[in-house]
Amino acid sequence: MNEATPIQNPTAEQPLSPWQLFWRRLKRRRIAMAGGMILIGLYLVALFAGFIAPYHFERQDRDRFFHPLLWPKLSGFHLVVPRYEAGDGSFVYHPVAGDTKPLRFFLRGDKYKLLGLVPATVHLFGTGDENYPVYLLGTDQFGRDVLSRLLYGSQISLSIGIIGILLSFTFGMMIGGISGYFGGRTDTVIMRLCELIMSIPALYLIISLRATFPPGMSSAQVYAMIVIILSFIGWASMARVIRGMTLSLREQQFVLAARALGQTHLKVIMRHILPNTFSYVIVAATLSVPYYILGEVVLSFLGVGIQEPNASWGNMLTAAQNTEYLRNYPWLLAPGAAIFVTVLAFNFLGDGLRDAADTKS
């Protein structure tokens, strides 16, 4: 079979994909990039929490409740950790002059599992002596290192946002796509259901849903429950927006063209309609992650989320409810600062993504 005549000279350069163009526009937005960098840093730290944390999150130091921040000092060319002593049992600590221990790196300490899989004992820093602890963020009311708990807690608090988004957005996109694509009665039923869920105040819904789960669950079960509860509430708003976008996308000719090729309805939705909503979905997902992080915080703060002794940013803040604690031991608010930074970083990144996805600007 001979070929038809080519209509112009061949061009062979590789063009930029839409994603590459998107990346170019995103790179120009400094605040968004800063947000992204902060998030990458936070997630890396969360991934290697066991290694970076000097102690295990459950380790209690019965001699040092509410110990204030304890930072290593520079002595000559070495970092040394000073020793503090409690005065008269009233949680007031004084440094013991001249009594120091050098700070060591990559030393053996509490057991943990690297990435949740590999058993390991090496920690980034520490002194290796129980009498000379390093408490960069102080200790809590049980004498546990706040920094270590913050790091372990970030594993739960940061991952819950991502997993929750994956779950609720997958669900919301599928439901919204089906609703908008088929229209008619399907659409009406699904949209009224969404409105029903959205019309109940979220906090009441969270708490009443929590009541449907039995008490005394393991921490893994509680984690799954929080994800399920937050996703159950979150899918509805996503479904509504995707449904709206699908309503306009389904009128596009490429949908008819795909149908004319003999594609099934479901594949048309999955392959042709939903990918066209991705630029919106990615932005919306980035901007909604904080909602899930805060949701976990709220549940744990109310005592129905992650249970002690496991650490999450929410249940760490529970200790900071007490005004006396807050006044005297303000380092207990450290998880609040972590939440603040994370949420802000997600919002900066999300705003940047939105601007980069909007090609009209």
Out of 45, 163, 247, 258, the residue judged to bind another protein by CB under 8 A: 258
- Around Cβ 304, how many Cβ atoms within 10 Å? 20
Q: How far apart are CA 35 and CA 41, in angstroms?
A: 10
Q: In the structure encoding, which two tokens stand for residue 235, read together?
A: 């899918």
Say whether residue 4 binds another protein (CB under 8 A): yes
109 contacts 123 by C-beta, under 8 angstroms: yes
Task: Give every CB contact of residue 55 below 8 A, 6+ residues apart in sequence.
Answer: 109, 110, 126, 133, 144, 145, 148
Out of 7, 97, 117, 220, the residue judged to bind another protein by CB under 8 A: 7
Question: How many chain residues are in contact with another protein, going by CB under 8 A?
Answer: 34
CA 214 vs. chain centroid, Å, equals 26
The residue among 123 and 272 lying less far from another protein, judged by its C-beta, is 272
The residue among 162 and 247 lying less far from another protein, judged by its C-beta, is 247
Say whether residue 173 binds another protein (CB under 8 A): no
Q: How far apart are CA 207 and CA 301, in angstroms?
A: 12
Crossing angle (nearest 10°) for helices 334-357 and 18-27: 130
For another protein, which stretch binds (CB under 8 A), given 53-61, 124-132, 264-272, 328-336? 264-272
Out of 41, 95, 116, 275, the residue judged to bind another protein by CB under 8 A: 275
Say whether residue 185 binds another protein (CB under 8 A): no
Task: Give every CB contact of residue 179 below 8 A, 6+ residues apart in sequence.
Answer: 186, 187, 190, 191, 239, 243, 246
For another protein, which stretch binds (CB under 8 A), given 72-80, 116-124, 131-139, 273-281? 273-281
Say whether residue 187 binds another protein (CB under 8 A): no
Minimum gap (Å) between residue 185 Cβ and another protein: 11
Say whether residue 360 binds another protein (CB under 8 A): no
Minimum gap (Å) between residue 281 Cβ and another protein: 12
Q: In the structure encoding, which two tokens stand for residue 311, read together?
A: 């650490």
Say whether residue 23 binds another protein (CB under 8 A): no
Say whether residue 24 binds another protein (CB under 8 A): no
Say whether residue 1 binds another protein (CB under 8 A): yes
101 Ramachandran zone, left/alpha/beta (phi>0; psi -120 to 50)? beta
The residue among 5 and 199 lying less far from another protein, judged by its C-beta, is 5
The residue among 263 and 347 lying less far from another protein, judged by its C-beta, is 263
Say whether residue 170 binds another protein (CB under 8 A): no
User: What are the angstrom distances between the C-alpha of 313 and each of 59, 148, 187, 283, 286?
Assistant: 17, 12, 39, 25, 20
Say whether residue 177 binds another protein (CB under 8 A): no
* Residues forming the site for another protein (CB under 8 A): 1, 3-15, 17-18, 184, 252-254, 256-264, 271-272, 275-276, 278
